[in-house]
Chain A
Amino acid sequence: MKVSVERNDDIKIIALDGQLDVSTSDLVREEVLSLFEDKPTIIFMEKCSYVSSSGLRSLLIMAKTAKAKGMKLVFAAPIAEVIDVFEMTGFIKMLKCVPTIEDAEKALS
């Protein structure tokens, strides 16, 4: 999975590209956490094609770390299958998700 920063001004957008599973989730999590600064952040998930059980945990740790830092964090544009996983498992209640980047920007303002 590739992690890239697509925007970094008053809002930071970190994009995930690929599958988030046991082979990638630890590294991705560490990389994303290392990119956290004291500013509102969007994790852009449009190109994240799959999230496994360990992937869910990495996302949750991102959310909890952000909360602990007092940093606003939103997950934007997860694909339908991924949102489905969040809803079925109940993780949706702990991950703030919105359908688009624009919705995310609104949520963070």
Chain B
Amino acid sequence: MRIDTNPTDTYGKYKTRPGLFLHNGSCIVPGGVNFSIYSSGAKSCELVLFQNHEQEPFAVIPFPPSYRIGNVFAMIVFDLDYENLEYGFYIDGVYDFACGDVYDHTKCLLDPYAKLISGRNVWGVEPDWSNQFQYRSKVSLDDFDWEGDQPLKTPHNELIIYEAHVRGFTQDESSGVKYKGTYAGLREKIPYLKKLGITAIELLPIFEFDEFEGCRKDEEGKTLYNYWGYSTVAFFAPKAGYAASGKYSMQIDEFKNLVKELHKNNIKIILDVVFNHTAEGNEHGPYISFKGIDNKTYYILTPEGYYYNFSGCGNTLNCNHSIVRTMILNCLRYWVAEYHVDGFRFDLAAILGRNQDGSPMSNPPLLEALAYDPLLRDAILIAEAWDAGGLYQVGSFPSYGRWAEWNGKYRDDVRKFLKGEPGLAGDVASRIAGSEDIYNPYWRGDCASVNFITCHDGFTLWDLYAYNYKHNAANGWGNADGANDENSWNCGWEGDCDQENVNFLRRKMIKNAATILLTSVGIPMILAGDEFGNTQYGNNNPYCQDNKISWLDWDMLKKNEEIFTFFQNMIAFRKEHPVLQKMSQGVPEGYPIVSLHGTNSWEFDYSAENRVIGVMFAGKTRDGEDDFIYIGINAHFESCGIWLPQLPEKFLWEVVANTDLGKQAFYTKPIPFNPEQQFILGAYSVIICNAKM
């Protein structure tokens, strides 16, 4: 028995002792619960204890002076029923807005290190707005039977990422799952993910957020929510409202179990994390935690005390302050060590490289710390390398040889080229070959480019080829919100159309995009639902749509089986050929790894009017045999003849896929092709040819 398991003091009927000063937040200790919190400007701090869901606290216990070392307060309270407990803090300090101190001891503050949150336990249940303490910290049980699980150790080269929203993925009736819109529901879809063949799922934010933040009614009285969740309330807690067991506060176990099951099926999990701002907004926003704990530490403030808004969401987290940096590092380490998460995608990551006065840094301590952290060594770190303050860093993000980036240029170049815009042949060839012009492999390695054509921002792949214009009226901003540069093409009709020639072209364009994406060097990312032509009815910014606009319509899986099968085959093809994943051991003699071609082999036309690209990869199969892959793209409205490159003796080109062939686009058995003839590549078509011994 330890000598520090006994109380040393009493406060009313509560027995206490000084707590664990090295710890952050709460944890169970023998006989009681420890509570620790940091604040540089607090004159005093009180622990506020509630029974579950009660408005009024049952105890308010001040931290005595002996329970403070430096800026850390720590207290153990004995004999607490930690399952029937919610807690917060009252912190008193100076109110001097211009100096950045806005202490208000009447506000009950959330523990910034809370691992479990109550207050939004069930999605969409209208809160009691009179409740002074909306998001409540709870004590968590962090033990879990992982049965030998660890973060997966497969190389980043093998990543095929699938971006999904937890709720939207299974909320619709058509999903057929029991626990709709939840982590448990996502778990029920693992067999589907395995069948599709993706190797990683990237989830839109799952850190606790408030779906009621900024919510409003549309013209028909329907509620528009903070549906996507890019507004964090608590960085260490999984969202309760995404858990089927959230009403019992069992979201930790439910989420960990999801991770365990994904890993059993060789699927990694990547979390979209939002460290650029918090849900506290600016000076008009609520006190949730940081504002009342240490405002000037956690936020980048102007000299007058206002909130810099590089995120476009009201405030900017002061990421490179030592305290905040430590919190972010602790957060990521926590999710990797405790939840076995395999990586992170950082929203508006350019903010992570801003100094405490907002200026960009060439050597940001936070990014350096993340790149070299030992626990994060195997985690994939993906940056959305821009922010809302004009800092665009695609290709120049401070990467330390570790970071990958969302390659926005890939999306733009490929979209424009595929719909026939001029002047892009050279760029698209570079994109397919791995974007070495943007990410020099010497500095950035092989996996810096996350290639994508669609993501949650913007059109779905179906809508990319069904709409020329965005249709966001449902969002309530007069169609002013959402990007205006989708580079989309409606194939001849705006929106829903029953003309077969239009729909044939749409399906072909989707297959074109899929083929290019899944044969490009880099890490491909697919938007969930694109593989079965899911539509958002032309809404390219459905961040607030908690309804059929955003929910995946699984009835499309049957209707668009042709598209699903194509994606499935393309993913399998990518996995079969190491050269596409830059994992080929060796090169066939006399051939470069990547070569560019046009209508004539070995001749690439860089002129503005060229719409024909041929890219050949030459590598080795896993058995060490020579392996040649040719991707031919014709983005012209007329067909053209192309000459395929000559192969070594005994090798013959076989056509594996031709997007011009409708349901038969991906051949069940490749068809040999006579190299003495030209291949006639149809209008707006892509072919794949493969040659092995």
Contact = CB atoms under 8 A, between A and B. Distances in A.
A52 B84 CA distance: 10
A6 to B, nearest CB: 28
Contact of B184 (A52, A53, A64, A87): A87
Interface string B228-262: 00000000000000011100111011100110110
A34 B498 CA distance: 70
Dominant secondary structure at the A interface: helix
Contact of B250 (A21, A53, A94): A53
Interface string A42-58: 00000000001110110
Nearest to A64: B145
Given A88-B243, A88-B245, A90-B260, A53 B254 contact: no
Given A88-B184, A88-B244, A89-B245, A56 B81 contact: no
A60 interface: yes
25 contacts: A21-B83, A22-B81, A22-B82, A22-B83, A22-B84, A52-B248, A53-B141, A53-B248, A53-B252, A54-B83, A57-B141, A85-B245, A85-B248, A88-B182, A88-B184, A88-B245, A88-B250, A88-B254, A89-B184, A89-B245, A89-B250, A90-B184, A90-B254, A90-B260, A94-B147
Nearest to A22: B83
Contact of B253 (A23, A64, A89): A89
Interface size range on B against A = 20 to 34
Interface string A66-103: 00000000000000000001011111001000000000
Given A54-B141, A88-B245, 7 more contacts: A52-B83, A53-B141, A57-B141, A57-B143, A85-B250, A89-B245, A94-B147
In order of increasing CB-CB distance, the 8 nearest A-B pairs are A90-B257, A88-B245, A88-B244, A89-B253, A22-B83, A88-B184, A89-B254, A53-B141
A89 B251 CA distance: 8
A54 B84 CA distance: 12
Contacts, number: 55
Contacts of B147: 94
Contacts of B143: 57
A23 B258 CA distance: 28
A94 B145 contact: yes
Contacts of A85: 245, 248, 250
Nearest to B243: A88
Interface string A18-31: 00011100000000
Nearest to A61: B145
Interface residues of A, number: 17
Interface string B78-97: 00011110000000000000
A38 B184 CA distance: 36
Interface in B174-193: 178-179, 182, 184, 187
A4 B512 CA distance: 67
Interface in B536-591: none
A21 B407 CA distance: 49
Interface in B112-150: 141, 143, 145, 147
Contacts of B182: 88
Given A21-B83, A22-B83, A87-B184, A53 B243 contact: no
A22 B138 CA distance: 14
B301 to A, nearest CB: 40
A91 B81 contact: no
A85 B182 CA distance: 14
A81 B280 CA distance: 36
Contacts of A64: 145
A62 to B, nearest CB: 13
A52 B184 CA distance: 18
A88 B261 contact: no
A21 B83 CA distance: 8
Contacts of A53: 83, 141, 248-250, 252-253
A89 B256 CA distance: 8
A81 B184 CA distance: 15
B83 A90 contact: no
B83 A56 contact: no
A91 B147 CA distance: 12
Contacts of A22: 81-84
Nearest to A21: B83
Interface in B144-201: 145, 147, 178-179, 182, 184, 187
